[in-house]
Amino acid sequence: MSDRSEKASPILLAIAIFLVSINLRPAVAAIGPLVAQIIGNTGINSTVVGLLTTIPVFLMGVGAIYVRQIRAALGERGGIAIGVLIIALSCLARYWLPSGAGLLVTAVGAGVGITLVQSLMPGFAKRNFGGSTSRIIGLYSTGIVVGASIAAGTAAGISDAIGWFGTLAAWSAPALVAALLWGVSSRHATSESAVNAPAAGIRAPSFWRSARCWSLMVFFGVGTGAFMLAMAWIPPFYLERGVERSNAGLLLSVLTVVEAVTALGVAAFIHRFPDRRGPLVFSLLVTALGFIVLYEWPVELAYVAMALLGIGIGILFPLSIIVAIDHVDDPTTAGNFTSFVQGGGYILASFVPLFAGAVRDSLADLSRVWLVMTIGSLAMIVLAVRYSPESYRRFSASLRVTSTFSAAEATR
């Protein structure tokens, strides 16, 4: 861990984390409102459009699983800065690569950049904010949905002026601003450096062997899958029902605005719920209800469906991260564990928009997908009720026992 003679400003650092997080979804969220133009200009089908979401999310998952190696190679502060710059360059490249192949290549780049930020940010936040970590993660999650909201809500209007490829490229500007502020604000922050290595004889816990790890992974995957599905396919779903392009984008924007406000509420009030099970179950019920409304009354109650999904996902997404962090006390181990959970969860979630695209190609309708997500949301309640604070302590203790045992083995 780096030693700093000066301390970073917590307020400036929190603002930088928020601005960085805003840039973690526009490369994906801006695609949905522009699907008709993209398909018309490039000739790709809905399954390939689904890949434009699947590829970044899948890479987020793979990168998160290898967070220890990423941290060792780049360090937390430097890795986050590099990630934001890669996002900026990937967005900018879309201006000169307005083709199906170009979109896929830049989707890979965006996925790599997002992966670096998301893998390293939880551990960095816990290291610098301690007992306020849950609030910072809530703020960070709020920034993610704010970025998605702005990208979805403005895409149609901006594309009328500068084209769909210019709209996608425009998101390079806020990413560059965020990278600059990050460099300034995090200069004196506490950050694990690239040169650190585990102490001799100490082996990191094996998360793969824990049933709780797999449980949290599936839980995060379903919640994130719902988020990614909404971003990728809500606008095309409404376009198929005769809704104008600007209004279809507006519906997604409403959903993400509600998500952002809800996530901000989570950041402000989650400390009053040390037992997270109540909010988790509530979020799953509301999410399921939102998908039911979307399935049964998609046009008549469109804004009701968007509000319900926004509230449900807006609670579920940040809480999925917070609950994982709650399980571990040590900042480095918490970062590794959270990234492991997010990694597997993102890999699972990445196939949801791809599945939706394949369904759209084969059935010319996405309604069945909403029904599947309703069932999945309700099924997750079975897992949520098991996440008690006492279970966190038992899990953390089991990790300490494993690490101690590994160290003892090494001294024989």
The DSSP secondary-structure symbol of 171 reads T
The DSSP secondary-structure symbol of 95 reads T
* Tally of CA atoms within 13 A in the half-sphere of 300 that contains its CB: 5
* Tally of CA atoms within 13 A in the half-sphere of 362 that contains its CB: 8
Q: Tell me if 200 is assigned to some domain.
A: no
**Which pLDDT band, with edges at 50, 70 and 90, does 404 fall under?**
very low
Q: Tell me if 2 is assigned to some domain.
A: no
* Structure token digits, residue 347: 């890999």
**Number of domains composing the chain:** 1
CA 14 to chain centre: 18
Q: Tell me if 224 is assigned to some domain.
A: yes
**Which pLDDT band, with edges at 50, 70 and 90, does 175 fall under?**
very high
* Structure token digits, residue 388: 């008690």
Per-residue pLDDT at 309: 93
Of 331 and 65, the structure prediction assigns the larger pLDDT to 65
Size of the chain, expressed as the number of residues it contains:
412
Domain interval for residue 404:
10-187+208-410
Contact criterion met (CB below 8 Å) for 228 and 352: yes
Per-residue pLDDT at 358: 80
- What is the longest distance spanned by two Cα atoms in the chain? 71
Question: 280: left (phi > 0), else alpha (psi -120 to 50), else beta?
Answer: alpha
Q: Which residues are CB-neighbours of 393 under 8 A, at least 6 positions away?
A: none
Q: Tell me if 100 is assigned to some domain.
A: yes
How far is Cα 395 from Cα 410, in angstroms, rounded to an integer? Answer: 23
Contact criterion met (CB below 8 Å) for 20 and 143: yes
Per-residue pLDDT at 390: 84
Per-residue pLDDT at 23: 94
Q: Tell me if 195 is assigned to some domain.
A: no
170, pLDDT greater than 70: yes
254, pLDDT greater than 60: yes
Contact criterion met (CB below 8 Å) for 307 and 246: no
| pLDDT, tens only, 15-29 | 999 999 999 989 888
Q: Which residues are CB-neighbours of 160 under 8 A, at least 6 positions away?
A: none
How far is Cα 33 from Cα 152, in angstroms, rounded to an integer? Answer: 6
Q: Tell me if 220 is assigned to some domain.
A: yes
43, pLDDT greater than 80: no
Q: Which residues are CB-neighbours of 29 under 8 A, at least 6 positions away?
A: 147, 148, 149, 151, 152, 231, 252, 256
**This prediction's pTM:** 0.73
**Segment (H or E) for 151:** helix 133-169
The CATH number of the domain where 116 resides is what? 1.20.1250.20
Q: Which of 177-181, 198-202, 295-299 has the lowest mean pLDDT?
A: 198-202
Q: Tell me if 66 is assigned to some domain.
A: yes
| pLDDT, tens only, 345-355 | 888 888 887 78
* Tally of CA atoms within 13 A in the half-sphere of 394 that contains its CB: 10
| pLDDT, tens only, 222-234 | 888 887 788 778 8
Of 35 and 192, the structure prediction assigns the larger pLDDT to 35
Please, what is the average pLDDT of the chain?
Answer: 81
Per-residue pLDDT at 176: 95
What is the DSSP annotation of 267-304?
HHHGGG-SSTHHHHHHHHHHHHHHHHHHHH-TTTTHHH
**Segment (H or E) for 1:** none
* Tally of CA atoms within 13 A in the half-sphere of 23 that contains its CB: 34
Tokens 């998101």 correspond to 171
Q: Tell me if 176 is assigned to some domain.
A: yes
